[in-house]
Structure 1
Amino acid sequence: MSPSPTELKFKSVDGVDIFVDVYLPEKASKENSAPVLLWWHGGGLLQGTRKGVAPHLVRAASKHNLCVVSADYRLAPQTRLPSILADCFDTIAFLRAPNSAFAQLVAGTADATNKLIVSGSSAGGFLALLVGLGIGQTSVSSVLRDGVQVRRLDPPVKAILPIYPITDLDDPFWTTKQRPVSYMPSIIPEERVAPFLDSAAEKTAFSTLDSPRAVFYHYMVQEGILPALLLENTSISPSTYSVAPAIRSRSCQLPIPPTYLIHGSIDDKVPPRQARDVFEALKAYGSEELGMSGQDLSQWVVYEEREGLDHLFDREEAEEMKDMYEFVKRVVG
């Protein structure tokens, strides 16, 4: 039987309360503390909710003895990408703080300091890569409006698990109009999303899966405006957050944590080349740079492309993500 989550508020900013849901493993103890798997939801950083966690993640608490944390963050364009990243780092600071509500809840049975895994689906996978690899942080910290300093993690995460991730805002997929989008029956009129396009509108860190905002991602793809929605008025180039180029130029945290990427081969919401590019960049690293000297690197940098599967395939009730959890077991124990 899957556990019910415990809701914890980890941050209040801009008049917005931001929460995590914590799924506690039944078998964890102080003597054998569970790893913490921190997951961020998708939606282009424009929509979505921590409540959209996939069934396999909910089951992972009991089945794989993981403390699963599903986190919200402020949504664009009312909040831009730099401050969204600040929310992600503040989530980790909350999980690692010795006197936080999370620490009181787990009471030593889960370890977010030494056994932290970051994951996410789609745009959430993008956040996991940026946070886990420390990409774009110098530029981010210099332009934050809310006084939060974004930083690289110490200690670093134990693993990164991006699920069909966005990885490069410079990809033409995000800047080329598609009218209509290949998977939508007709063009979405601007008036359907006008309240969400307004960057001066009330900030939010949550939108239900059936809310009017749920069409916002598809409108963004239709109009090719993701970089503008995430970065307008920040003076930051989209290339700052291009994951594969940052890896190739060594503009990332070293050693690189073990990384497992997975994507469906027919995904038309986020092109699978986004994950492939990151995998190819990671493969160019040596064992020392990956902190895996003398070991088989194919066990620590993995790309799985699932033939014939589309975006959100892991939301199916029967999907177990077996290979991903085997990777976690190998990396964390």
Structure 2
Amino acid sequence: MSSLPPIPQLPDPFAPLFVTDVFTYKTVQDTPIQTDVHIPKDVESDQNLPVLLLMHGGSLIAGHRRMWPLLCGPWLPTFAAQYKAIVIVPDYRLAPETKTPEILADLVSFWEWVHGVFPALLQKKRSVTPDLSKLAIRGESAGGWCALHLSLRYPQEIRASILAWPMVDTESDWFRVGSGDKSVLGMPPFAKDQTEKYLASMDMEAVTTQGGPERFPIALGGMQHGFAHTMWGNSEETFVLLALERGGAKLPSFMWISHGADDTAVPLEQSEKLARLIRMNSAGTFVRFDVKPGDHGFDNLVPFEEEWLQEALKQVAAAWLS
């Protein structure tokens, strides 16, 4: 099978400003599903700290909680540290071994863990408390699918929802039929027969939460050739926009969507559709929608001082922390 260029091994962007603890929020078939909890270094004991949930991307097929190019730009830890926020980054089970109802079940289990035993665990370990009344969520790419699901399920508890180049229109022909011979992220298409053989060789009984670069060929090749729904499943949970399309859905009061105008992995039209549906069908939700030059992951290259980014972050902070 065609191979991807090597994924850059970036240094942990949280390490300079945070200390990190690892917790298990769920166990499936003896496999622990874990989350990293990043706590700012410069906090005093017994402080109540705001919370940012961070959902990784990877087409629901690849990625994990420490694959930085699919998780956050270098500016995000700086922003979180500025407001002394706890950043919580979970893994979740991956397709095609796990289908979308079970992936969503992991997200709900994670949410319940954060709102259940986690505050006591953190207080015991670090002598600080998460202020769950000040909670925001961010997801990039497939992490946007995760974040949107949780935002629709818990709109009153999430103050700000941040979706970066989100993979949300999962019913579109881009995934149902496939993107065909279009170049994705500068790479040629993967051969269809090789993608089929890869799928046929997989152990569908396995529990996978750590999808490295070796899974990218199936993630991208499957979408190029219309296998996305074979891998994700066709359950209603796959199609995260259904609730908004039906009308009556609720979302957090502030949503920030950003997308690269030249995105070759998730077309800009998906975010345009999402913004339009929110404005039509989610009364009381304010949407900020930024479209900037660049491909998938464009804002990973944006400096923290960038004027438009600072404007957006001020809006996020106002909604999240007021």
Same fold per superposition (TM over 0.5): yes
Match of 1:126 in 2: 145
Task: Out of 124-133 and 220-229, give the one that drifted further.
Answer: 220-229
Q: Deviation per CA, 1:54-98, whole angstroms, max 9, x where unpaired?
A: 222333332342211111100001111111111111112111224
Match of 2:100 in 1: 81
After superposition, residues 267-282 of structure 1 pair within 5 angstroms as 267-282=263-278
Partner of residue 304 from structure 1, selected from 287, 290, 294: 290
Aligned residue pairs, count: 295
Q: Does 1:330 align with 2:315?
A: no
Q: Deviation per CA, 1:207-236, whole angstroms, max 9, x where unpaired?
A: 23xx3212222112221121221115xxx2
- Contact kept, 8 Å, 2:46 with 2:127, in 1: the verdict is no
Q: Deviation per CA, 1:78-136, whole angstroms, max 9, x where unpaired?
A: 1111111111111121112246534534534422x3122121110100110111112xx
In 2, Cα distance between the equivalents of 1:328 and 1:285?
A: 21
Match of 1:143 in 2: none
Q: Does 1:204 align with 2:192?
A: no
- Contact kept, 8 Å, 1:179 with 1:187, in 2: the verdict is no
Identity across matched positions, percent: 23
In 1, Cα distance between the equivalents of 2:265 and 2:114?
A: 31
User: Structure 1 pair 316/255, CA: closer, same or farther in 2 (3 Å)?
Assistant: closer
Q: How much does 1:6 deviate?
A: 2.0
After superposition, residues 1-333 of structure 1 pair within 5 angstroms as 1-28=16-43, 33-52=48-67, 53-54=71-72, 55-98=74-117, 101-105=121-125, 107-111=127-131, 113-134=132-153, 153=154, 156-183=157-184, 184-188=187-191, 190-191=193-194, 194-195=197-198, 198=202, 200-208=204-212, 211-231=213-233, 236-237=235-236, 241-243=239-241, 245-252=242-249, 254=250, 256-285=252-281, 289-290=283-284, 300-306=286-292, 308-316=293-301, 318=303, 321-333=309-321
Q: How much does 1:328 deviate?
A: 1.9
* Amino acid of the structure 2 residue aligned with 1:164: W
Q: Deviation per CA, 1:240-261, whole angstroms, max 9, x where unpaired?
A: 6242x52243352x36431111
User: Structure 1 pair 14/281, CA: closer, same or farther in 2 (3 Å)?
Assistant: same
Q: How much does 1:199 deviate?
A: 5.8
Structure 2 segments unaligned to the other structure (5+ residues)? 1-15
In 2, Cα distance between the equivalents of 1:89 and 1:29?
A: 31
Q: How much does 1:179 deviate?
A: 4.1
TM-score, normalization by structure 2: 0.81
Q: How much does 1:237 deviate?
A: 4.2
- Contact kept, 8 Å, 2:155 with 2:252, in 1: the verdict is no
User: Structure 1 pair 227/251, CA: closer, same or farther in 2 (3 Å)?
Assistant: farther
In 1, Cα distance between the equivalents of 2:193 and 2:127?
A: 49
Q: Deviation per CA, 1:139-194, whole angstroms, max 9, x where unpaired?
A: xxxxxxxxxxxxxx385211211111111221110022344342322433544674
In 1, Cα distance between the equivalents of 2:314 and 2:225?
A: 39
- Counterpart of 1:5 in 2: which secondary structure? strand
In 1, Cα distance between the equivalents of 2:295 and 2:203?
A: 31
- Contact kept, 8 Å, 2:192 with 2:225, in 1: the verdict is no
Q: Deviation per CA, 1:259-312, whole angstroms, max 9, x where unpaired?
A: 1111111101001111111111222257xx32xxxxxx7xx3211111x21101
